[in-house]
Amino acid sequence: MRSPERTFASLLSFVFLLAFAGCDSGRSTKVEVLSGPAPGKKLVRVAASDETYVHFLKVAEAYSLKNDVQFEISQTQGKDIPGLLEKKTVDIGVTARRLSPEAIGANLSYIPYAYDGVVFLAAPDAKVRSLTLPQVQQILQGKIVNWKEVGGADKQITIVDRPPYSAVRLSMGTALFGGEFPRAKAKLTMETSENTYQALKSLSSYLAYSPLSRISVEHFPAVPLTIDGMPPLITNVPAEKYPSRLEYSLLIPRDAPAAVTEFANHLQSVEAVHLLASLALVPAAGKLSLSSCHCRATEGTFSPSRGSSLAGTFTIAVVPELGAIQQENRYAGISRFIAEEMGVRTQLKHMETYERVLREFEEGRVDAAFVGSLGYGQLHEQLGVVPLVRPESGKVSHYKGVVIVRSNSGIRGFAGLRGKSFAYVPNTSAGELFCRLLLSRNGRAAEREFFSRVVKVSTHADAVQMVAEGKVDGAAVKDLVLQRMIDERGKGGLKENLRFLEISPSFPENAFVVSPSLDAKQSAKLRDILLSCDKKEGGQAALKAMGADRFLPTSNGEYEKLYEMAREAGYSFRKR
């Protein structure tokens, strides 16, 4: 429960936010006191730039709870921070970009503590998930003005921009455009990241950009875009090839008081590094290697703290059931846990399609994967992959396919979808296989003979959203994904607006499968490690991130219902 002082400080912060236009106006706009005045408390005054403000509040609050320090944090323009420190108006400055030696001066110390990425965001109704860098440049230059020109919806593009002095804009301009950010056409300029976040809730057909950490820990109403094949994942940020990075740093006087230097040293500690990683940032601990504290390492890999006892990298593929960022958040913990317990360097590899998983296994580029039932059937029948375990949550370790329509559609059964539009995810049991089964039962083996239009989408969430928005009349989706979306939106949301027409038999939940080339002893060891995951602290945290309670042993025999459905639907797991 928040203390009265903390609640009052939040109210004070809100009043300041209403009083001023934004953080980049050259004056402080928000003030947050993270603990109420108390006898003996040391006061540390902080000036934080816009991009650093949200995560730094959490870092400072965690420190204040355990130490005799009271933080007073104001939000201001980054370029003004050195001047505030020189005038001793504040004790610490927090910036989101590397300042020049001239700006820092001789009396200040510059201490990087974390890295973040910059991500482009598209409105869901733009119907775009990836762009090339030239396409982005042409949109910002006004040469591309409609999403249909890049394979999206027939909608005019609105640019949600930031001021020229914004750190995230400057970083993007330097990294992607040679230092000169294009003059955006048809744009709205938002002073702060928070203004942008609030605006995206009501805008449509936009292209915006934001710090990657914000969309990793909050639900932004936007689609994070892959640019030139580089997914917007925090694990990619340390790589030199990541398009644009932010460097979060402290600026402190060289003669800073003990309370300030103690806090600066704290940001290099294991505790602080763990907190920064939990906020979807890449810690920049100078004396502490990321692998030594089990945190995220560079280039999307995880290394055991005691050193790798096995050669090479154990690569785990993740299918696109949800968006890439959600999948990263779900599976990074278990990849790290495997690295530590197996004594092997691991790497998560995100697949943009289900077909890609099959190809990567076939070409020997992945060693294991979390895959749905249909994907398993293909991998097992074509390549002989071996299932080890599957997750269980609330005593549920299976899922079903469901056919949904809008509740006001008047459609009462699958037969009522004849001549209608339909969506599903290819190469999934809940989507494609269940659809094929229902078609065969209704006397139509071919989709084109039954539906007026078939839309094949990348994720079950996309299929659900298309029905909810009236883009298609019906869809076959995974029930667990649908239930998560219903729970997130609450009363008056999806549940009241959708009707379930058909429900499939149960399939084993997404199983962890390994290549048949993996040594039998190592495969058995890996199975044992995962089955004991719920009994170890690191494993429990990994399971929680997956939304699971434990792993259950899984064998090929548990897929009998899948094979029965395939036979009835005339579906072959062999290459087509």
Contacts of 478 (CB under 8 A, 6+ apart): 321, 372, 399, 400, 401, 402, 428, 430, 431, 460
Measured from the Cβ of residue 547, the count of other Cβ atoms closer than 10 Å reads 12
Residues 68 and 150 in one domain: no
Residues 322 and 262 in one domain: no
Residues 350 and 373 in one domain: yes
Per-residue pLDDT tens over the stretch 106-132: 788 888 888 888 888 999 999 998 888
Q: What's the sign of the alpha-carbon dihedral 139, 143, 147, 148? A: negative
pLDDT at 59: 92
CATH number, domain containing residue 105 = 3.40.190.10
Is the pLDDT at 549 greater than 60? The verdict is: yes
Is the pLDDT at 156 greater than 90? The verdict is: yes
Q: Is residue 141 part of a domain?
A: yes
Classify residue 352 as exposed, middle or buried by CB count within 10 Å of its CB (0-12, 13-18, 19+): middle
Token pair 């048949």: residue: 516
Minimum mean pLDDT among 72-81, 239-248, 271-280: which range?
239-248
Q: Is residue 480 part of a domain?
A: yes
Q: Is residue 66 part of a domain?
A: yes
Residues 389 and 414 in one domain: no
Residues 108 and 128 in one domain: no
Contacts of 205 (CB under 8 A, 6+ apart): 123, 125, 126, 147, 153, 155, 156, 157, 158
Residues 344 and 434 in one domain: no
Q: Is residue 576 part of a domain?
A: no
Residues 135 and 36 in one domain: no
Q: How many domains does the chain have?
A: 4
Q: Is residue 320 part of a domain?
A: yes
Q: Is residue 575 part of a domain?
A: no
Q: In terms of residue numbers, what domain contains 466?
A: 401-504
Distance between CA atoms of residues 347 and 339, nearest Å: 9
Decide which of 226, 254, 283 is a domain's last residue: 283
Q: Is residue 120 part of a domain?
A: yes
pLDDT at 556: 92
Residues 232 and 120 in one domain: yes
Per-residue pLDDT tens over the stretch 461-500: 889 989 999 999 999 999 988 988 888 777 667 888 899 9
Residues 494 and 544 in one domain: no
Rounded mean pLDDT, 378-405 = 92
Is the pLDDT at 308 greater than 90? The verdict is: no
